[in-house]
């Protein structure tokens, strides 16, 4: 087991990505953040805080639960069933640039489910993706626009992202 | 509450013989009445400005007698009796209160009729009247009466008397419903299929006279049914005018099991048997009532029940009819005899003097238990309680004279009977509403202003 | 937070078979499902391709529509059957009807039937997941679940609440399911009804019984009124509508005895002026319409969780 990112590194990665967002999008006017539950949500809030500190602007932030859109729900799956949680997107996404935020980008299926959900909510002008960690092994043609850390892993390994808001500390650990 | 206020009429019955078993009193006492209430009962009470009343020797004071089964016929059958004449007949018979059955026209199955009865009774200012409400609408056995309303209007019990409670299911529902209001159900127990067209007890006398019979089992079958349902529901149940020995057997067994069952017997079922139908040429319709006069074994069983405590109350089932109605042949004449004005002489003569029961037990049967069964005040002279007293003259000789009865109905088989025992006076709420010859000719037992 | 993430049975036949953790799971899932109904597109693909049959042998508009809507929102294929014109009226037994329909491979069957135990009967004979939408006078589990959701929304909890349930207790499956659920979740339940309509066995569920409405409503946080059918009046159970309303009807006057923020519930359809005064039904205490809204969410949660079932139960 190895800690591949500590609290300090994480903070700097988030700060760097916030700058990248600003750079790429020429201002924040139509930007909104949507964190994918569970850990994508505090990450989205941190990004929003960074953007606020940099520009003084408030970026709308929402939370998306994709359990009902997963494609692996009805398959035989080992391990506990995911519990559905509330989706909270209180703003209209029509015509907005939506930045999806997730902790780990892996097969890409979670992001695909998130895209399906977002389409049901409205018609964004564009969707971008921010992932704290990209561990490879994509099964769908999906890529992140902003990556905190590229982390080559094998399929047998497990990546644990821990955040202060949920786990009491900030770190990324690779197991196996 | 015990001390009457100044300005209220206060009377002191001095050193009178009092039999009040519920209060444990059987002896010589002073009774102080203030207004319409008993102020105090004790010995050597101070006079303190009260009007002293001395009673003739031989007069015994008891708590007011209560007849829990009478038919006052009003509304709808005023040719037989009215509430006023019936309540007056009651006090003439020594009763300070009566409970009246609902088989009037219309049936007392709704608050409006109950209120009418109470209003009439209040206007009459004679005996207190406690209405019994119907179990089913019109006593038709199909639909529950609005029992909650009847209770709120003043009914003290429920019955479809005249008819039995039609089915076990109705009895069950009625008991369940009525027990929410702690109302007892009084049943006229009679299996209608066994009764058929019967007019007399199904025995030798009816057989020889050619009269269709009603067997004792018609009554006892329904008593047993009702006791089973009462056991199941835990409700209070009372057998009206019990007459058959099998019924008493079932009541005893039910009581032994803890079922809340009580029962009453009429004076005529304790005194007469079916031989009376054959007497004096036979077919006297004044011997026709329902349940009918039965065999001697049944009469003796009732006597035994009165003695040993398994019978709870004596009630007359006072059923006045117009003379024209009773003047029909035996089959056609309606069932029923009057009883309010013959009850006390019959009980004193044929029960007390005959040694079957003592006076305290008689008071239980005619006052204590009736009050308890109906849940009404009385049954004892309690300080602050109503001043309802019956003054008895057990030694006074009377001859029953139907023509001079207060009741409109004169249908009695006891006309001309000589009996030892009479009512001296009846006091309701402190007012002496009846003063009889047994008060030994005194014009008034006490001075009564026209209040 | 529920301590389980899955239900332990393949059917939902009654509250009797659920434990508090499972009930908690359904309620939490229902909260999430409720949000779907607030979106512009009120649909999620979760049960796409699943087939659900609604067998309603008893007429019921609101429950049937509620289930249908829940099924459609989850993108399932839904088929409805109502009594008229059904093969059952041609003498076919319930089990045979279900087996015949099962040949079309439904994943789930929702059944409402006038015989107590009908759902259990189907569960023994069919492969599909059976959901009891009301069997005779036995249970109506989704009603109790939506009632619990509604109570929790308004009161923040179930444990420690005092709940009065008033009406025809003997014939009410809503009572039985609610009594089971509320006592399992730590609420205090007082049932009130006329003595002719109280079934034996309620104390065994941990429910106190009284015939006095004022006593039941005293200090109650929730007052749940049950429907009294007209057929019960003017017969041997009850003398008349007037007397029932006088003795047992919920009026604003009676409600004054309840706790200050008491809520009033009713499974519907209501008999105004019989068990409940209009002023109460339409007043600020009433959450009756919330119950209906929550019904869809709760049914979505139940369908989702049962579709997920992996084990053998």
* A to C CB pairs, distance under 8 Å: 52
Q: Which residue has the tokens 């009065």?
A: C164
Per cent of chain B over pLDDT 70 is 96
- How many Å apart are CA A67 and CA B288, to the nearest integer? 87
**pLDDT for res C87:** 57
User: Is there a contact between C239 and B173 if contact means CB atoms under 8 Å apart?
Assistant: no
What's the token pair of residue C18?
């659920």
From C112's Cα to the closest Cα of chain B, the distance in A is: 30
Q: Which residues contact B119 (CB under 8 A, 6 or more apart)?
A: none
Residues of A in contact with C40 (CB under 8 A): 120-122
**pLDDT for res C4:** 84
pLDDT for B381-426, tens place per residue?
999 999 999 999 999 999 999 999 999 999 999 999 999 999 999 9
Residues of B in contact with C243 (CB under 8 A): 146-149
- How many Å apart are CA C144 and CA C130, to the nearest integer? 17
CB B325 within 8 A of CB B275: no
CA A165 from centroid of its chain's CA atoms: 15
Q: Could you give the residue ranges of the DSSP H alpha helices within C126-172?
A: 141-155
Residue from C169, C192, C196 whose CB has the most chain B CBs within 10 Å, to mutate? C196
User: Is there a contact between A121 and C28 if contact means CB atoms under 8 Å apart?
Assistant: no
Q: Using CB atoms, which residue from B142, B144, B169 is nearest to C238?
A: B144
Averaged over B309-324, what is the pLDDT? 97
Q: Is A83 at the interface with chain C, CB within 8 A? A: yes
What's the token pair of residue B43?
């010995």
CB C23 within 8 A of CB C184: yes
From B141's Cα to the closest Cα of chain C, the distance in A is: 9
Helix (H, G, I), strand (E, B) or coil at A18: helix
Question: Does residue B33 surpass a pLDDT of 80?
Answer: yes
Q: Is C308 at the interface with chain A, CB within 8 A? A: yes
Chains interfacing with A (3 or more CB pairs < 8 Å): C
CB B388 within 8 A of CB B97: yes
Checking DSSP bridges between strand B389-399 and strand B60-63, what pairing results, if any?
Answer: antiparallel
- How many Å apart are CA B111 and CA B166, to the nearest integer? 22
**pLDDT for res C234:** 65
CA B33 from centroid of its chain's CA atoms: 25
**pLDDT for res B447:** 52
DSSP secondary structure, B37-98, as one string: EEEEEESS---TTPEEE-PPTT-EEEEPEEEEEE---TTT-TTT--HHHHHHHHHHTTEEEE
Neighbours of C180 (CB within 10 A): 23
Minimal-distance CA residue of chain A relative to C3: A83
Minimal-distance CA residue of chain B relative to C238: B144
Closest by CA position to B406, among listed B127, B109, B153: B127
Q: Using CB atoms, which residue from C195, C234, C242 is nearest to B177?
A: C195
Q: What is the DSSP letter of A58?
A: P
Q: Using CB atoms, which residue from A74, A83, A120 is nearest to C28?
A: A83
- How many Å apart are CA C149 and CA B443, to the nearest integer? 82
Q: Using CB atoms, which residue from A80, A84, A117 is nearest to C32?
A: A84
**Residue spans of chain C under pLDDT 50:** 313
pLDDT for B329-380, tens place per residue?
999 999 999 999 999 999 999 999 999 999 999 999 999 999 999 999 999 9
Closest by CA position to B95, among listed B437, B291, B370: B370
pLDDT for B186-223, tens place per residue?
999 999 999 999 999 999 999 999 999 999 999 999 99
User: Is there a contact between B137 and C239 if contact means CB atoms under 8 Å apart?
Assistant: yes
Sheet (strand A97-105) strand order: A61-64, A31-36, A97-105, A126-134, A146-150
**Phi and psi (nearest 5°) for A174?**
-110, 130
Residues of A in contact with C2 (CB under 8 A): 83
**pLDDT for res A6:** 94
pLDDT for C18-68, tens place per residue?
999 999 999 999 999 999 998 888 999 999 999 999 999 888 888 999 999
Q: Using CB atoms, which residue from A77, A81, A122 is nearest to C40?
A: A122
Q: What is the DSSP letter of B141?
A: S
Residues of B in contact with C237 (CB under 8 A): 144, 173
Residues of C in contact with A69 (CB under 8 A): 44-46
Q: Using CB atoms, which residue from C195, C236, C237 is nearest to B179?
A: C195
Chains interfacing with C (3 or more CB pairs < 8 Å): A, B
| C 190-209 residues with CB < 8 A to B | 194-196, 198
Minimal-distance CA residue of chain C relative to B170: C236
What's the token pair of residue B130?
């406690």
CB C183 within 8 A of CB C215: no
Minimal-distance CA residue of chain C relative to A70: C46
**Phi and psi (nearest 5°) for C23?**
-60, -45
ipTM of the complex: 0.82
Q: Which residue has the tokens 């047992």?
A: C248
Residue B443 pLDDT grade (very low, low, confident, very high; cuts 50, 70, 90)? very low
Residue from C213, C236, C243 whose CB has the most chain B CBs within 10 Å, to mutate? C236
**pLDDT for res B19:** 97
Q: Could you give the residue ranges of the DSSP H alpha helices within C59-117?
A: 61-73, 94-102
Q: Is A109 at the interface with chain C, CB within 8 A? A: no
Residues of C in contact with B146 (CB under 8 A): 239-240, 242-243
**pLDDT for res C61:** 87
- How many Å apart are CA A117 and CA A66, to the nearest integer? 7
Catalytic residue among B20, B226, B317, B388: B317
Residues of C in contact with B142 (CB under 8 A): 235-236
Q: Which residues contact C40 (CB under 8 A, 6 or more apart)?
A: A120, A121, A122
Residues of B in contact with C216 (CB under 8 A): none
**pLDDT for res B3:** 44
Residue from C4, C30, C45 whose CB has the most chain A CBs within 10 Å, to mutate? C45
Q: By CB neighbour count within 10 A (0-12 exposed, 13-18 middle, 19+ buried), where does A108 fall?
A: middle
Residues of C in contact with B169 (CB under 8 A): 236
From A24's Cα to the closest Cα of chain C, the distance in A is: 31
Residues of C in contact with A122 (CB under 8 A): 40
From A149's Cα to the closest Cα of chain C, the distance in A is: 32
Residues of B in contact with C196 (CB under 8 A): 173, 176-177
CB A151 within 8 A of CB A123: no
* Active site (annotated) includes residue B20: no
CB B185 within 8 A of CB B165: yes
pLDDT for B136-148, tens place per residue?
999 999 999 999 9
Q: Using CB atoms, which residue from C234, C235, C239 is nearest to B147?
A: C239
Question: Does residue B111 surpass a pLDDT of 90?
Answer: yes
Q: Is C89 at the interface with chain B, CB within 8 A? A: no
Closest by CA position to C12, among listed C102, C127, C123, C94: C123
Question: Does residue B441 surpass a pLDDT of 60?
Answer: no
From A12's Cα to the closest Cα of chain C, the distance in A is: 34
Question: Does residue B47 surpass a pLDDT of 60?
Answer: yes
**pLDDT for res A125:** 94
From C86's Cα to the closest Cα of chain A, the distance in A is: 32
- How many Å apart are CA C101 and CA C98, to the nearest integer? 5
Q: Using CB atoms, which residue from A65, A80, A122 is nearest to C32?
A: A65
Q: Is A166 at the interface with chain C, CB within 8 A? A: no
**pLDDT for res B440:** 59
User: Is there a contact between A68 and C310 if contact means CB atoms under 8 Å apart?
Assistant: no
Residue B450 pLDDT grade (very low, low, confident, very high; cuts 50, 70, 90)? very low
Checking DSSP bridges between strand A2-5 and strand A171-175, what pairing results, if any?
Answer: antiparallel
* Per-residue tens of pLDDT for chain A, all 176 residues: 799 999 999 999 999 999 999 999 977 889 999 999 899 999 999 999 999 999 999 999 999 999 888 877 655 455 556 778 889 999 999 999 999 999 999 999 999 999 999 988 999 999 999 999 999 999 999 999 999 999 999 999 999 999 999 999 999 999 98
From C260's Cα to the closest Cα of chain B, the distance in A is: 28
């Amino acid at each position: 087991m190895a800690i591949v990112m500590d609290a300090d590194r994480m903070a700097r990665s988030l700060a760097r990505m916030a700058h990248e967002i600003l750079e790429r999008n020429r201002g924040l006017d139509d930007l909104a953040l949507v964190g994918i539950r569970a850990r994508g949500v505090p990450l989205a809030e941190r990004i929003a805080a960074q953007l606020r500190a940099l520009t003084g602007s408030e970026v709308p932030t929402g939370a998306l639960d994709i359990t009902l859109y997963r494609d692996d729900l009805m398959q035989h799956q080992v391990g506990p069933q995911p519990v559905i949680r509330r989706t909270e997107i209180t703003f209209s996404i029509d015509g907005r640039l939506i930045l999806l935020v997730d902790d780990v980008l892996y097969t890409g299926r979670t992001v695909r489910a998130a895209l399906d959900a977002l389409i049901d909510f409205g018609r964004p002008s564009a969707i971008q993706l921010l992932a704290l960690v990209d561990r490879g092994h994509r099964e769908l043609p999906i890529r992140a626009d902003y990556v905190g850390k590229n982390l080559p892993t094998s399929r047998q390994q497990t990546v644990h992202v821990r955040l202060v808001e949920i786990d009491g500390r900030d770190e990324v650990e690779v197991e196996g | 509450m015990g001390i009457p206020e100044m300005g209220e009429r206060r009377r002191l019955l001095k050193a009178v013989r009092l039999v009040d078993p519920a209060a444990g009193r059987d002896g010589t006492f002073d009774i102080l009445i203030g207004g319409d209430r008993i102020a105090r009962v004790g010995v050597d009470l101070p006079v303190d400005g009260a009007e002293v009343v001395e009673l003739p020797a031989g007069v015994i004071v008891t708590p007011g007698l209560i007849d829990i089964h009478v038919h006052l016929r009003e509304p709808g059958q005023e040719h037989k009796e009215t509430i006023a004449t019936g309540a007056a007949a009651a006090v003439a018979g020594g009763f300070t209160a009566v409970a009246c059955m609902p088989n009037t026209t219309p049936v007392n199955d709704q608050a409006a009729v109950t209120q009418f009865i109470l209003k009439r009774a209040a206007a009459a200012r004679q005996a207190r009247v406690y209405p019994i409400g119907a179990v089913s609408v019109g006593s038709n056995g199909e639909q529950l009466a609005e029992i909650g309303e009847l209770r709120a209007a003043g009914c003290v019990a429920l019955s479809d008397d005249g008819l039995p409670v039609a089915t076990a299911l109705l009895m069950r529902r009625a008991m369940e419903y009525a027990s929410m209001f702690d109302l007892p159900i009084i049943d006229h127990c009679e299996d209608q299929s066994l009764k058929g067209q019967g007019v007399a007890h199904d025995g030798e006398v009816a057989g020889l006279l050619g009269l269709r019979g009603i067997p004792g089992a018609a009554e006892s079958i329904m008593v047993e049914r009702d006791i089973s349902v009462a056991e199941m529901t835990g409700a209070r149940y009372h057998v009206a005018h019990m007459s058959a020995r099998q019924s008493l057997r079932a009541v005893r067994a039910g009581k032994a099991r803890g079922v809340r069952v009580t029962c009453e017997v009429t004076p005529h079922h304790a005194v007469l048997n079916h031989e009376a139908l054959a007497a004096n040429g036979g077919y006297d319709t004044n011997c026709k009532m329902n349940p009918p006069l039965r065999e001697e074994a049944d009469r003796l069983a009732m006597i035994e029940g009165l003695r040993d405590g398994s019978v709870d109350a004596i009630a007359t089932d006072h059923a006045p009819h117009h003379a024209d109605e009773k003047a029909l042949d035996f089959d056609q004449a309606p069932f029923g005899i009057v009883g309010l004005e013959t009850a006390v002489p019959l009980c004193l003569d044929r029960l007390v003097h005959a040694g079957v029961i003592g006076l305290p037990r008689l008071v239980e049967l005619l006052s204590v238990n009736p009050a308890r069964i109906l849940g009404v005040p009385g049954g004892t002279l309690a300080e602050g309680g109503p001043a309802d007293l019956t003054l008895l003259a057990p030694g006074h000789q009377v001859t029953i004279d139907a023509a001079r009865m207060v009741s409109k109905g004169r249908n009695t088989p006891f006309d001309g009977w000589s009996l030892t025992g009479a009512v001296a006076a009846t006091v309701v709420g402190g007012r002496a509403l009846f003063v009889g010859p047994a008060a030994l000719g005194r014009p008034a037992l006490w001075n009564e202003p026209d209040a | 937070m529920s301590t389980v993430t899955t239900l332990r049975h393949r059917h939902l036949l009654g509250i009797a078979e659920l434990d508090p953790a499972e009930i908690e799971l359904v309620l939490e899932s229902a909260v999430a499902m409720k949000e779907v109904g607030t979106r512009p597109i009120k649909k999620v693909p979760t049960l796409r391709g699943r087939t659900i049959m609604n067998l309603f042998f008893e007429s019921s508009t609101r429950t049937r529509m509620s289930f249908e809507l829940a099924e459609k929102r989850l993108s399932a294929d839904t088929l409805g059957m109502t009594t008229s014109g059904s093969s059952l009226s041609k003498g076919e037994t319930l089990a045979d009807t279900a087996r015949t329909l099962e040949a079309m491979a439904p994943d789930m069957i929702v059944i409402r039937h006038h015989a107590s135990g009908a759902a259990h009967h189907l569960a023994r004979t069919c492969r599909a997941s059976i959901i009891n939408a009301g069997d005779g006078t036995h249970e109506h589990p989704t009603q109790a679940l939506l009632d619990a959701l509604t109570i929790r929304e308004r009161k923040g909890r179930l444990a420690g609440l005092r709940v009065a349930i008033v009406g025809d207790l003997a014939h009410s499956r809503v009572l039985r399911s609610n009594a089971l659920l509320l006592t399992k979740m730590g609420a205090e339940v007082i049932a009130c009804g006329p003595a002719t309509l109280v079934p034996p066995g309620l104390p065994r569920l941990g429910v106190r019984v009284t015939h006095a409405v004022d006593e039941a409503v005293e200090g109650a946080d929730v007052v749940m009124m049950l429907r009294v059918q007209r057929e019960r009046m003017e017969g041997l159970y009850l003398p008349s509508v007037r007397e029932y309303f006088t003795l047992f009807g919920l009026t604003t006057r009676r409600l004054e005895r309840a706790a200050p923020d008491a809520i009033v519930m009713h499974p519907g359809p209501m008999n105004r002026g019989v068990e409940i005064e209009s002023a109460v039904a339409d007043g600020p205490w009433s959450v009756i319409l919330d119950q209906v809204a929550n019904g869809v969410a709760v049914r979505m949660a139940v369908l989702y969780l049962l579709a997920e079932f992996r084990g053998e139960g």
